[in-house]
Amino acid sequence: MTGPAIRVIVADDQQIMREGLVALLDLMDGIEVIGNVGNGEEALRVIAQDPPDAVLMDLRMPVLDGIETTRRIAAEHPGVAVLVLTTYVDDESIAAALHAGAKGYVTKDAGREQIAAALRAAAAGQITFDAAVSQRLVAAFNHTGEPAAAPPPARAVIPGLTTRESEVLSLIARGLSNAEIAAAMLIGEATVKTHANNVFMKIGVRNRSEAVRYVYQHGLAD
Radius of gyration of the chain measured on its C-alpha atoms: 19
Together in a domain, 34 and 102: yes
Backbone angles phi, psi at 128, to 5 degrees: -145, 140
Q: Residue 187 belongs to what domain range?
A: 141-217
User: Packing angle between helix 189-203 and helix 208-217, nearest 10 degrees?
Assistant: 60
Together in a domain, 97 and 153: no
Together in a domain, 184 and 204: yes
Together in a domain, 13 and 85: yes
Q: What is the CATH number of the domain that holds 167?
A: 1.10.10.10
Largest CA distance in the chain: 57
Do the domain assignments include residue 20?
yes
Do the domain assignments include residue 196?
yes
Together in a domain, 120 and 145: no
Domain edge (last residue) among 83, 106, 138: 138
| 142 compared with 175, residue with greater pLDDT | 175
Together in a domain, 126 and 158: no
Tens-digit pLDDT profile for residues 181-196: 877 776 778 888 888 9
Domain edge (last residue) among 97, 114, 138: 138
Do the domain assignments include residue 10?
yes
Task: Classify the phi-psi angles of 63: left when phi > 0, otherwise alpha if psi is within -120 to 50, otherwise beta.
Answer: left
pLDDT at 153 over 60: no
Name the nearest CA neighbour of 11 among 64, 42, 57. Answer: 57
Q: Would the pTM count as exceeding 0.75?
A: no
What is the domain count for the chain?
Answer: 2
Residue 192 to residues 11, 151, 165, 170, Cα–Cα distance (Å): 42, 13, 9, 12
Together in a domain, 130 and 167: no
The neighbour count for residue 63, using CB atoms within 10 Å, is 12
Do the domain assignments include residue 162?
yes
Domain edge (last residue) among 119, 138, 157: 138
Question: What is the band of 147 on the pLDDT scale with cuts at 50, 70, 90?
Answer: very low
Together in a domain, 160 and 134: no
Do the domain assignments include residue 1?
no
Q: Average pLDDT in the 72-86 region?
A: 94
Together in a domain, 179 and 88: no
Tens-digit pLDDT profile for residues 46-56: 999 999 999 99
Do the domain assignments include residue 222?
no
Together in a domain, 84 and 176: no
Together in a domain, 130 and 163: no
Task: Classify the phi-psi angles of 38: left when phi > 0, otherwise alpha if psi is within -120 to 50, otherwise beta.
Answer: alpha
Q: What is the CATH number of the domain that holds 131?
A: 3.40.50.2300
Do the domain assignments include residue 46?
yes
Spacing of C-alpha 37 from chain mean position? 22
Together in a domain, 132 and 145: no
pLDDT at 109 over 80: yes
